[in-house]
Structure 1
Amino acid sequence: MPEVIFPGPEGRLEGRYHPQKSKDAPIAIILHPHPKFGGTMNNKVVYNLHYAFHDMGFTVLRFNFRGVGRSQGEYDQGIGELSDAASALDYLQSLNPNSRQCWVAGFSFGAWIGMQLLMRRPEVAGFISVAPPANMYDFTFLAPCPSSGLIINGEADRVVPPADVTGLAEKLQQQKGITVTHQTVPGAGHFFENGMDEMIGNVQDYVRKRQTEPHIR
């Protein structure tokens, strides 16, 4: 898989780009956990999400936020990281102008950034939000949530209490015009040391189902 360097708001950003042969393949970007707590694009959840999307026929890009790995800049409280994500999506779209669909997936801090990106980018057709940190960050910006998606978390998550994720999902499920699916993986912690295969399987089942129902927003 080719390493790529592309321009971000504060200098270059480092990524991994995994294209499909089909010019109209759907595209997805994958967003990693908190940079200050060891989060990188090589996190196991991010890595597995990347390949899960590629296996489903997506052209996929994951990348390091500013200040992580070879990406330039410094951590910016989520504000700059959202701009990084927007630049990554711009870059992915520039390489795939004929893509028929766009998805965003994020894990933990990356899920929070991904949900914000939804509000900026109406072309995003679906999202995967893995262990969104509803106990740490405000998600009220999702009013309304512009696209349907999957929220998935571990039953034994000690970083983000499952009750907080359930509360977030229930709020979003009340909105009209979209469908937010919520799933909990039994016995799984925040990093899915147990339950990784089940989590990835659920993600793939959800995305494949959505792919056969393109009318769902």
Structure 2
Amino acid sequence: MPEVIINGPEGRIEGRYLHAQEPNAPIALMLHPHPQHGGTMNNKVVYAMYQTFVARGFSTLRFNFRGVGRSQGSYTGGEGELSDAATALDWLQTYNPNARFCWIAGFSFGAWIGMQLLMRRPEITGFVSVAPPANMFDFSFLAPCPASGLVVQGDQDDIVPPESVKKLVDKLSAQRGITITHSVIKGANHFFGQQIDQLSDIIGGYVDKSVEAHEKESA
């Protein structure tokens, strides 16, 4: 899991990257929770997502937003963090010019940034949003949402109420041509403490099915 340093908009971006063996392996970018509330690329949920994609042969990158860890700069409320994510995706694509698919996966604040990146990058084929903070941030920019994806939520989340996520999912699901899979984990709070393995299984199963469907379509 080599450390990488990426030249970002505000200087150095610190990341961890695993390059897949297959020449045209798909790529995946992981986005961490809120920088001002202890969110880092080493967050347990982010690490679990990272390992889930690595295990499926993706070239996978996770990184620290500006002002976190050894990444330079300071928190800007989302705009700068979106620039960091776009720069990280550019870096990932540079090292994987023949990648078959491109996925993003974000947790909490990272899910909000990930969905904004999704709107700007048509090459993204799938997404995973874990506990998207629909009660704190505006997701109305997803009109229309450009790709199908997975939303996972704990039913005991006391930071992001499950009903706010359900509203977001219902709104996205009403759009034509995309499918939003909504998975609710019983007993899980915002951080999925005892349910990390279950979370990994849900994400892994979804990615397996989606990749298989994409492969059939492009065959």
Give TM class, smaller chain.
Answer: over 0.9
Q: CA deviation at 1:173?
A: 0.3
1:84 — aligned with what? 84
Aligned match of 2:13:
13
Q: Secondary structure at the match of 1:175?
A: coil
Aligned to 1:183: 183
Shift of 1:196: 1.1
Task: Report what 2:127 is aligned to.
Answer: 127
Q: Note if 1:51 corresponds to 2:72.
A: no
SS at match of 1:171: helix
Counterpart in 1 of 2:193? 193
- 2:149 maps to which residue? 149
Amino acid at match of 2:58: F
User: What's the counterpart of residue 117 of structure 1?
Assistant: 117
- 2:137 aligns with 137
2 CA distance for matches of 1:64 and 1:175?
A: 33
* Matched residue, 2:206: 206
- Secondary structure (helix, strand or coil) at the match of 2:206 reads helix
Structure 2 letter corresponding to 1:96 = N
Could you tell me how far 1:30 is from its partner in structure 2? 0.2
For 2:182, give the aligned amino acid. H
Cα-to-partner distance string for 1:133-183 (whole Å, 9 max, x where unaligned): 000000000000000000001010001000001110010000001111101
SS at 2:194 equivalent: coil
Deviation at 1:194, TM superposition (A): 2.1
Report the Cα distance in structure 2 between the residues aligned to 1:98 and 1:37, rounded to whole angstroms.
37
Q: Which residue of 2 aligns with 1:38?
A: 38
Cα distance in 1, alignment partners of residues 176 and 204 from structure 2: 25
TM-score with structure 2 setting the length: 0.97
One-letter code aligned to 1:36: Q
Distance of 1:48 and 1:209 partners within structure 2: 19
CA distance in structure 2 between the partners assigned to 1:117 and 1:31 by the alignment: 11
The residue matched to 1:195 in structure 2 has which SS? helix
Tell me the distance in 2 between the aligned counterparts of 1:48 and 1:29. 13
Alignment TM-score, normalising by the size of structure 1: 0.98
Match of 1:60 in 2: 60
Residue 29 (str. 1) matches residue 29 (str. 2): yes
CA distance, structure 1, for counterparts of residue 206 and residue 107 of structure 2: 16
After TM superposition, where is structure 1 displaced by more than 6 Å over at least 4 residues in a row? none
The one-letter amino acid of 2:114's match is G
What residue in structure 2 maps to residue 3 of structure 1?
3
Give the unaligned 5+ runs of structure 2.
none
Q: List per-residue Cα deviations over 1:29-65 (Å, max 9, x = no partner).
A: 0000000000000000000100000001111000000
Q: CA deviation at 1:195?
A: 1.3
* Distance in structure 1 (CA, Å) of the matches to 2:135 and 2:163: 9
Could you tell me the percent identity over the aligned residues?
Answer: 62
**How big is the alpha-carbon RMSD for the aligned residues of Structure 1 and Structure 2?**
0.9
